[in-house]
């Protein structure tokens, strides 16, 4: 008889695989009702489910080292994730090796070599690997978890940040406020960025579902030659050009830093106000979003719990052939930087 998987438990309990993982691993900092926990545990008992990666104790290790790959230190989002991971692994007696690639494939390759040389006990990627075949090969000897975007083509344990859902949430919110001319602002990136692609797909899907034409959304990307500028500077420079136009009423930054740059540009202008003339929002819920005036509307992923789950998945891996594909449940955080489209009725809701 085929052994039950977490996917089977999730289907029987009527919850997501992520919820099953949270329950079976007793992950802290996650708000789950007792009813939900009971449904998951009852389903697990009924299916005689034996957790492979979550219910067993930590495997015996030699190095007590984890490699964490991140693409940049410029965006506060990644140091925030590193802080969550390092704090949790320290409690478990592990040390973290920071592998910042600065979006350079050769640096990434060198760090992969280091992981093998040091016989690290696990690797966590905070972005989609450039050397996918190499990482998949590495996963046969060292547990690897992606905390990024899931893809059916990637045979690695993945916790998806659900970029599609994030984009959909933001776009639907703006459309409900009456915005029919929306700009999506992106900084220049030469390497793989599945997260950006998924967010853009989600935005376009919301526009289609609203019965609006594709022209409702316009995409603006900083020139690749400007890759030396920060993401906030990219948002600022693109917004400078948009201020010369009269049609854009809402701006979505590809992340909070780009949104911050766009907001700074508008606040420095003489004839535009946020959110009365233009609404601005982003993704990631970094600390800057609560320090600006107005505060920035954004999307949160319950990142601390997901970081701890990623660590648990790596440290408790058993070499199973089953590949886990989990997804976060993003939440829209409505603040002061968004409001009704000019000339429409409605009220700006902030938190």
Q: What is the pLDDT of residues 77-107, one digit of tens each?
A: 999 999 999 999 999 999 999 999 998 999 9
DSSP string, 24-65: HHT-TT----HHHHHHHHHHHHHTT---SSSSSPPPP-SS-E
Better pLDDT: 177 or 27: 177
**pTM, entire model:** 0.79
Q: Name which of 11-20, 47-56, 62-71, 336-345 the model is least confident about.
A: 47-56
Q: Name which of 16-20, 36-40, 78-82, 232-236 the model is least confident about.
A: 16-20
Is residue 52 very low, low, confident or very high in pLDDT (cuts 50, 70, 90)?
low
Note the pLDDT of residue 54. Answer: 38
Q: What is the mean pLDDT of residues 146-161?
A: 86
Note the pLDDT of residue 190. Answer: 58
Sign of CA pseudo-dihedral 263, 264, 268, 269: negative
pLDDT(227) > 70 = no
Q: Name which of 5-9, 102-106, 336-340 the model is least confident about.
A: 5-9
Q: What is the mean pLDDT of residues 274-289?
A: 96
Q: How far is CA 195 from CA 48, 149, 161, 186, 342, in A?
A: 36, 6, 8, 12, 31
pLDDT(24) > 80 = no
Q: Give, as one character, the DSSP assignment of residue 255.
A: S
Note the pLDDT of residue 228. Answer: 65
Note the pLDDT of residue 58. Answer: 43
> pLDDT, tens digit, for every residue of 299-314?
998 889 999 999 999 9
Distance CA 285, CA 265 (A): 20
Q: What is the mean pLDDT of residues 323-328?
A: 81
pLDDT(59) > 70 = no
Q: Which domains does the chain have, with CATH numbers?
A: 6-46 (no CATH), 65-159+307-325 (3.40.50.2300), 163-300 (3.40.50.2300)
Distance CA 36, CA 42 (A): 10
Note the pLDDT of residue 53. Answer: 42
pLDDT(61) > 60 = no
Is residue 250 very low, low, confident or very high in pLDDT (cuts 50, 70, 90)?
very high
Going by their DSSP bridges, the two strands 331-333 and 298-300 should be labelled as antiparallel
What percent of the chain stands above pLDDT 90?
Answer: 59
Is residue 50 very low, low, confident or very high in pLDDT (cuts 50, 70, 90)?
low
Note the pLDDT of residue 83. Answer: 95
CB 148 within 8 A of CB 139: no
Residue 263: half-sphere exposure toward Cβ, Cα within 13 Å? 28
Average pLDDT, the chain: 88
- In degrees, to the nearest 5, what angle opens at C-alpha 150 toward C-alphas 146 and 153? 105
Q: What is the mean pLDDT of residues 157-176?
A: 95
Better pLDDT: 298 or 26: 298
Note the pLDDT of residue 5. Answer: 79
With tokens 């696990």, the residue in question is 122
pLDDT(32) > 60 = yes
């Amino acid at each position: 008889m085929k052994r039950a998987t977490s996917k089977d438990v999730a289907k029987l309990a009527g919850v997501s695989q992520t919820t099953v993982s949270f329950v079976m691993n007793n992950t802290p900092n996650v708000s789950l009702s007792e009813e939900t926990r009971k449904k998951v545990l009852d389903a697990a008992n009924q299916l005689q489910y034996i957790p492979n990666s979550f219910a067993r104790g930590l495997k015996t290790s030699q190095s007590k080292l984890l490699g964490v790959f991140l693409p940049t230190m410029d965006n506060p989002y990644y140091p925030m994730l590193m802080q969550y991971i390092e704090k949790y692994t320290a409690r478990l007696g592990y040390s973290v090796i920071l592998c910042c690639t600065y979006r350079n494939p050769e640096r990434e390759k060198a760090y992969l070599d280091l992981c093998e040389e040091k016989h690290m006990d696990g690797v966590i990627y905070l972005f989609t690997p450039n050397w996918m075949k190499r990482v998949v090969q590495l996963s046969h000897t060292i547990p690897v978890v992606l905390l990024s975007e899931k893809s059916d083509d990637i045979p690695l344990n993945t916790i998806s940040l659900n970029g599609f859902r994030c984009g959909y949430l933001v776009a639907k919110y703006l459309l409900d406020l009456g915005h029919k001319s929306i700009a999506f602002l992106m900084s220049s990136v030469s390497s793989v960025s599945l997260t950006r692609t998924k967010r853009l797909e989600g935005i376009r899907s919301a526009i289609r579902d609203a019965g609006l034409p594709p022209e409702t959304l316009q995409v603006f990307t900083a020139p690749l030659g400007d890759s030396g500028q920060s993401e906030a500077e990219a948002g600022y420079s693109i917004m400078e050009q948009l201020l010369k136009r009269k049609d854009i009423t809402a701006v979505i930054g590809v992340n909070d830093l780009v949104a911050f740059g766009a907001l700074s540009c508008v606040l420095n202008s003489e004839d535009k106000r946020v959110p009365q003339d233009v609404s601005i929002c982003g993704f990631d819920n970094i600390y800057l979003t609560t320090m600006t005036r107005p505060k920035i509307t954004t999307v949160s992923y319950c990142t601390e719990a997901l970081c701890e789950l990623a660590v648990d998945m790596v440290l408790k891996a058993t070499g199973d052939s089953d590949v886990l594909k989990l997804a976060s449940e993003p939440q829209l955080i409505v603040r002061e930087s968004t409001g009704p489209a000019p000339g429409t009725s409605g009220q700006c809701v902030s938190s």
